[in-house]
Amino acid sequence: MPGVDVSVVIPCFNAKDFVGEAIRSVHCPPLLSIEVIVVDDGSTDGSWEELGRLQETEFPSLKILSHPGHANRGVSAARYLGFSASVGRYLAFLDADDVFMPDKIAAQVKVMDASPEVVLCHTGVQVVGDVQRSAFFESSFSRNPTNPYRLRSLKDYLVRNSICNSSVMVRSSSLREIPFAYVQLAQYEDWLCWSLLAAKGFFLYLDRPLVGYRVHGNAATASIEKGKLNHLYALLEYKIVLLVRSESALHACRVLCSLLETIRLLMVEYLWQPIEEASKAPKIRRNLLVWILIGGAKIVRKVRLPQ
């Protein structure tokens, strides 16, 4: 499809109840050309059949893809499959349970056309679904510079992800230069993508809620919230993959220091008894190696490497 301005990639896994709303939210601004690609990641709830129905009745130009044998390979592989089939100058990611606001695409194309140094543009969000948690999630994705910035210049960019996946628009040419897909065990595949893309140029944050971010019990982010260990292991995987795929030794050193801090936090978690009456349990004694590793990680985390 020649002349496509924006490709919207929607990975879908068991999102039958939401994916139609997500597709309908993709509005094509005047004078722009958009393609929508949905990748079914081995859904078992009838999502594949629902996508076929939507294509037949509402969206004849909708592209529907799946892995061979309708396998479930994870959201990272699903996004990469959709990206590989895209032809747009820009790529916008949209989770199957989120929605775009009507002016999102037009606003982002406008600023990216005017700022060739910007490789990624992201926006604020408005929580839909469980609005009782709206303050937490909306603030989590709003603590960003409002001028073009270097992601790696932020001191805490390896500690927290402040970019909502469904708010992102990237330059396709820049995304093709990074190895962002991997076989994942946990989440944070989007965080890895931003961290690798940071080497290619500036990021820009639009301080407007241009995405409806759905919060519900089945959301991946919600599952991470349920346990500190889940979060730490997901963080560990993210940093290991980033370490081995970093483009420079200096950045790899910075990631390694942060990785050691995550390992330290994990070790500390295992020094506590997971029972109510811990006083009655055998005391956990730290051996010398554990003392050295925990103490050494504390020292390493204070190291400040160049950005």
Each residue's pLDDT tens digit, 98-123: 999 999 999 999 999 999 999 999 99
Cα–Cα distance, 307 to 160 (Å, whole number): 17
Domain that holds residue 267: 228-300
Residue 307 covered by a domain: no
Residue 305 covered by a domain: no
Cα–Cα distance, 191 to 30 (Å, whole number): 32
Using the 3D structure, point to which of 207, 225, 243 is the last residue of a domain: 225
Which residues does 29 contact at the CB level (< 8 Å), separation at least 6? 103, 105, 106, 109
Mean pLDDT over residues 10-39, rounded? 95
Cα–Cα distance, 177 to 196 (Å, whole number): 10
- Residue 280's pLDDT is 64
- Residue 305's pLDDT is 58
Q: Same structural domain for residues 149 and 264?
A: no
Count of domains forming the chain: 2
Band of residue 142 on the pLDDT scale cut at 50, 70, 90: confident
- Residue 287's pLDDT is 79
Contact 4, 34 (CB under 8 A): yes
Please state, in angstroms and as integers, the Cα–Cα distance from residue 94 to each residue in 10, 113, 129, 170, 281, following that order.
5, 21, 16, 12, 48
Which string of b and e fits 144-177 if b means at least 16 CB within 10 Å? beeeebebbebeebbeebbbbbbbbbbbbebbee
The overall average pLDDT reported for the chain is 88
Residue 76 covered by a domain: yes
37: domain CATH number is 3.90.550.10
Band of residue 198 on the pLDDT scale cut at 50, 70, 90: very high
Using the 3D structure, point to which of 201, 225, 249 is the last residue of a domain: 225
Q: Same structural domain for residues 267 and 178?
A: no
Please state, in angstroms and as integers, the Cα–Cα distance from residue 134 to each residue in 25, 45, 139, following that order.
20, 28, 8
- Residue 63's pLDDT is 98
- Residue 225's pLDDT is 46
Using the 3D structure, point to which of 203, 225, 247 is the last residue of a domain: 225
Q: Same structural domain for residues 135 and 22?
A: yes
Share of the chain above pLDDT 90, in %: 64
